A and B are shown apart, each in its own frame.
Chain A
Amino acid sequence: MGDKLGVKEYRLALRENKLQGLKCKACGFVTAPPRLACRHCGATDSEIVQLSGKGKIATFTSIFIPPESHRGQTPYLVVVVELAEGPWIMGNIQGADPNKATLDLIGKSVHMDNNLIPDDKKPPEDISPMFVLDS
């Protein structure tokens, strides 16, 4: 079954700067974040794989009016990254100015580095992939 990579395991890995996904044994598609069924073909037999954390920015926005959880942090960037292994994933980005973000960001190469989030800023549970522009 594909639920061996649950919310808890996935988040613990993210805290250690590891991005995990599930590779479908039927079609080879990588689903991340994890789902019981393959996002591509619906099969439920999969194995946990380590992802590179590398990819390209698919789209982005700068948030100026935040939810409760992010009060006092605006503006900040949210990005969707197309991972090298295929799936799109939501996260944040460091090294780009949220006040000056333009469409030029789309297509830029990034890699995940959750070690950039200081330990005291890592929330006990909620954690999101943090990407950095490749230099």
Chain B
Amino acid sequence: MRKVAVVGVGQTVFSGAQSRSNTELFSEAAMEALNEANLKNKDVQALLVGTVLTDFEECQQIANTYISENLGLPHVPTNTYDGACASSSVAIIDAFIWIASGMYDIVLVGGMEKVASMGTHLATQTYTMYADRYYDYPSGITFPGMFAMLANLYAKKYNIPIEILKEQMALISVKAHKFGALNPKAHLQRELTVEKVFRSPMVCQPLNVYDCCPFSDGGAAIVMTSEDIARKLTDKPVFITGFGQASAGTFVSQQEYLPHFITRQISSAKAYKMAGIKPLDIDVCELHDSFSISEILAVEGLGFFDYGTGGAASARGETIHGGKVVINPSGGLKAKGHPVGATGAAQVYEIFRQLRGESGATQVDNARIGLTDAMGASGNINCNIVLERGW
């Protein structure tokens, strides 16, 4: 198996509803990534695109083929990946296997979405389609509703008064916005207060609007290649040294693990083992904070903190610079935004910049090992990717 590197990354500014097409959003990110990698469109041998809702967003199917044409890729194979919020992470893992096998040398991979362009109403409805259509959907459950139920379960299981948990969750949103305000590509570049979280409308008890990530438009892409080519292209290749992926059906099928997810446990354990690292070897992590409670579940599920202690650890500053591990310095899904198909690639974008020391105001000192964590729907899919400096 060959080693696989990331040699260029690109990301559009994540935003609310905007006029550019999904093809244009992906292409902007892709050109940035190709330019950084010192590669031309003719060098690309395959295009893997994570996206989930182009049909509802713009009445477009097989957008990946129009992206390939738009970018002038030479009739390469192209696939679309639907892994819900983990779509482009799934695509990146597949690209790894394609390159590691020796079948392909240079693969362009990423994702995009125009969720905000659908409007809140249609976007909410489409997200609900990720629940089990026959056995969960009829109850009127929503996507945030699943995580609200996990928040209540978490509070009960770990005996944390709901008022305390709500404050810990609000502080996580405040942290995300503090980082988002420093990220010129973030959707929400403004700071937030605990009071403002509490005053925002209730979505589903105990989650308020500011406990939830926004609906966003945007694209992100990366260029992946083999070690020998990477070494010719750049002095600073970033290697993917481990990954894991796991799946489950309806979230109640994970009943014996909830509020944590067996999918994350399996996926992250595989990624750590493959990379030969332990959770606390990680300097910087971009994880799935679709909701404030999601970040608490993730920092525990990934092994950074004991179960039931993640909220308190975050509140005392263990997840920012100077703490145990820096979590979501990009602002995460919460503040950077969540254009579903783009999110996994945008996580790699941030880790790549951090490992190269190019993250400006949010740079983690001497970051050497980074992790991404992407969850599709409510624990249905989990992907973890370990990235390390190659110099």
Q: A residues bordering B, Cβ < 8 Å?
A: 7, 11, 33, 35, 39, 58-70, 73, 76, 78, 80, 82, 87-92, 98, 101-103, 106-107, 123, 126-128
Contact = CB atoms under 8 A, between A and B. Distances in A.
Interface string B149-176: 1101101100000100000000000000
Interface string B180-214: 00000000000000000000011111100000000
Given A80-B149, A102-B162, A66 B142 contact: yes
A58 B140 contact: no
Contacts of B24: none
A70 B128 CA distance: 12
Contact of B255 (A58, A76, A106): A58
Contacts of B141: 63, 78, 90
B156 A63 contact: no
26 contacts: A33-B134, A39-B253, A59-B149, A59-B150, A59-B152, A59-B258, A61-B204, A63-B140, A64-B205, A65-B201, A66-B140, A67-B142, A68-B121, A70-B140, A73-B140, A87-B252, A88-B252, A90-B135, A92-B139, A103-B152, A103-B156, A103-B162, A123-B138, A126-B138, A128-B138, A128-B139
Contacts of B145: 61, 63, 78
B379 to A, nearest CB: 13
Interface string B91-134: 00000000000000000000000000000010011001000101
Contacts of A78: 139-141, 145, 149
A77 B129 CA distance: 19
B140 A69 contact: yes
Interface of B: 121, 124-125, 128, 132, 134-142, 144-145, 148-150, 152-153, 155-156, 162, 201-206, 249-250, 252-253, 255, 258
A11 B380 CA distance: 24
Given A33-B135, A58-B153, A88-B255, A63 B162 contact: no
Nearest to B124: A67
Nearest to A6: B134
A127 B142 CA distance: 16
A12 to B, nearest CB: 13
A80 B250 CA distance: 12
A110 B182 CA distance: 49
Given A64-B203, A90-B135, A90-B136, A103 B155 contact: yes
A66 B269 CA distance: 36
A67 B125 contact: yes
Contacts of B125: 67-68
A65 B203 contact: yes
Contacts of A126: 137-138
A88 B153 CA distance: 13
Contacts of B253: 39
Contacts of B139: 78, 90-92, 128
B152 A60 contact: yes
A127 B152 contact: no
A126 B132 CA distance: 12
Contacts of A123: 138
Nearest to A34: B135
A106 B156 contact: yes
A61 B136 contact: no
Contacts of A11: 134
B366 to A, nearest CB: 42
Contacts of A33: 132, 134-135
B380 to A, nearest CB: 15
A61 B140 contact: no
B148 to A, nearest CB: 4
A91 B206 CA distance: 18
4 cross-chain pairs, A with B, having the tightest CB-CB distances, nearest first? A61-B148, A126-B138, A70-B140, A33-B135
B153 A59 contact: yes
Contact of B204 (A59, A63, A106, A128): A63
A90 B145 CA distance: 12
A60 B156 CA distance: 11
A92 B140 contact: yes
